[in-house]
Chains A and B, each alone.
Chain A
Amino acid sequence: MTEDIRNIVKEHGRLSVDVASLTDDADLYAAGLTSHASVNLMLALEAKFDIEFPERMLRRKSFESIAAMKAAISELVPQ
């Protein structure tokens, strides 16, 4: 799952640095993630994992790092 998330961040995050250079816990907002890009990120993640983020997850914190996204998605993907 982490690899898939990394690929989506690479494609849609429009970061100012290479995603490969970031740890899973790195602050993506400090790496240049804008709120506009984070919307595209959410849409791509929803499509990839066939999920819908509920309103409670649609806040800044849920997308601040690769680890945070993984935690949010894990809650929604049937195990």
Chain B
Amino acid sequence: MSALRENLVAQAKKIGEKVVAAHAADVDATARFPTESFAALKEAKLLSAMVPKALGGPGATVSDIAAVCTTLGHYCASTAMVYAMHQSQVACITRHCGSSAWQKNFIAEMCKQELLIASATSEAGIGGDVRTSSCAVETTGDRFTLAKNATVISYGAHADAVCLTARRTPDSPPSDQVLVVCPKGTYTLEQTSGWDTLGMRGTCSNGYWLRAKGSTEQVLPTPYADISAQTMLPSAHVFWASLWLGIASDALNRSRLFIRGEARKKPGSVPPGAVRLAEASNQLQLMRANVTDCAAAYEAAMATPEATTALGFAIRMNHLKTGTSQMAIDVVNRAMLINGIHGYRNDSPFSVARHLRDVHSAQVMVSNDRIFGTTASLLLVHKED
């Protein structure tokens, strides 16, 4: 492990234990943004950690950030998810800013002020396919305007900037998209829906009408099709899978403590749930292997952007999401069975109730059915090496 990763994970652990864990139950119960978590993460400069050295940041790798996501996932799934989504935006901007002076200046500000960046990709009327847009960038000279009926902007009201997808021009087809970086002050939000959900309640993923105007330099030069294939999709899947791993491992830690307690009560006998724990631990190892393997594959592919547009790579990154989301639910469910009524209760040190509610988001936030559908289509032409 690099010294940078050790340091980042140590800081995340410290903040996790002291701040994130302390507010996790309230964030969940009242469906509020984890304000305290993000104040602490900003203070420790964990939001800008992945900005490359050439752009003025410390240059953490994808695997470094994945490790932070897992660590935060131990304490509060909403905090970890917001952090993960933010880091995908950081990856998109820093990798696709080209030579734009405006973008480089924005990145410098992001490092200086630890800006939190949200994303607005979903839109009313596009049938849930985020690779198409209805709204379009309307340009006059070097200025643009844009209005998007975004069905979901996670932590939109708490972000310092929003990245949104839109058609390149009002004449462009729905699939010809760009990504527009909008810092606070260049857009307004009008809330259209709330966020009262089973789990992940602190991501505050309300719907908004977003109206933006600004300089055309805010539009990233790379087509969103490439940004999506090369950066948004693989980074999101790696970071999400990493935080689901965090949720699942914390649930299993609670089972481990529970079983140990049971074993101490009756020395010499193996508690009935111990075999289940072994099975769940086995699943967790498979999940961890999938996450670290895909994070490494993504890092290797980043060196040659062309490799990230290969079908085989897209299939692998899709499998990471569908596979780990199912397995995380499976592990937490097993933890619930091991801990029994103590796991089911909200008021027990062995509770995995919140874990179970939070982790169920994994299969539906970007529906696995949709991803399997895409993968199935890619497999029609894919050839295994």
Q: Which of A's residues lie within 8 Å of B, judged by CB?
A: 15-17, 29-36, 39, 42-43, 46, 52-56, 58-61
Q: Is the CB of B131 within 8 A of A61?
A: no
Partner of B385, one of A29, A33, A55, A60: A55
CA A32 to CA B177, docked complex, whole Å: 10
Q: Is the CB of A33 within 8 A of B311?
A: no
Stretch at the interface among B46-54, B199-207, B222-230: B222-230
CB-defined contacts of B174 to chain A, threshold 8 Å: 16, 32
Q: Which of B's residues lie within 8 Å of A, judged by CB?
A: 131-132, 168, 172-176, 223, 225-226, 229, 306, 309-312, 374, 377-378, 380-385
Interface of A is mostly: loop
CB-defined contacts of A42 to chain B, threshold 8 Å: 381
CA A58 to CA B172, docked complex, whole Å: 25
Q: Is the CB of B380 within 8 A of A58?
A: no
Interface of B is mostly: loop
- If the complex has contacts A58-B312, A59-B306, A60-B226, are A16 and B381 also in contact, measured as CB distance less than 8 A? no
- If the complex has contacts A36-B377, A55-B382, are A29 and B223 also in contact, measured as CB distance less than 8 A? yes
The residue on A at minimum CB distance from B310 is A59
CB-defined contacts of B384 to chain A, threshold 8 Å: 55
Q: Is the CB of A53 within 8 A of B306?
A: no
Expressed in whole angstroms, the minimum distance between the Cβ of A57 and any Cβ of chain B is 9
The residue on A at minimum CB distance from B382 is A58
CB-defined contacts of A31 to chain B, threshold 8 Å: 173, 176
Expressed in whole angstroms, the minimum distance between the Cβ of B320 and any Cβ of chain A is 18
CA A54 to CA B383, docked complex, whole Å: 7
Expressed in whole angstroms, the minimum distance between the Cβ of A33 and any Cβ of chain B is 7
